[in-house]
Amino acid sequence: MTYTERFTEAHVPLVYDYADSIGISTVDSAWVNLANYHRVILVVNVGDMVQGATLDVSIRQATTVAGAGAKAITGKAITQLTQAGGDSDSLVSIELQTEELDVTGSFDCVSVRRVIAGAAVEMSFVLYGIVSRYEPVPVTAWTEVIP
């Protein structure tokens, strides 16, 4: 990214979940194909965690946007956050280079998995496609872009 390049010209939100208080659940986001990106970064914003809450977040891989053959990616999960450990109001990220996918097995799609146990957690996340193969990236995923 150069000094004059806008953030929105180089980073596209591929999948996201708006801030909300989320109860006990395991949910996978939509699957996205990474054919147009060399890297992605997942940014997770955690707010209040109710007493007893835990949060696990990871990036998973599949061979299609339907989630075929879905499996974990070694090393692409946060350290579990816990209310007891004082992890409320945390900001964490996971970076992934596409060559870290099982490319030999034709894995080129990713999804974000969040697992909340014990009690509710306020959280949101955005998975950004970065280092695009074709720039500028589309801005259609942004509600508004103010230069």
Q: Show the domain range for 72.
A: 21-130
Q: Tell me the backbone φ, ψ of residue 23, rounded to 5 degrees.
A: -80, 180
126 in a structural domain: yes
Domain CATH code at residue 59: 2.60.120
9 in a structural domain: no
139 in a structural domain: no
Buried b (16+ CB within 10 A) or exposed e, 71-86: eebeebbbeebbbeee
* Total number of domains in the chain: 1
52 in a structural domain: yes
User: Taking Cα atoms as reference points, which of 93, 67, 66, 69 lies closest to residue 79?
Assistant: 93
8 in a structural domain: no
Q: For the chain (length 147 residues), average pLDDT per consecutive 10? A: 81 94 97 96 98 98 98 98 97 97 97 98 97 84 88
pTM of the predicted protein model: 0.93
Non-local CB neighbours of 72 within 8 Å, separated by 6+ positions: 58, 60, 61
111 in a structural domain: yes
110 in a structural domain: yes
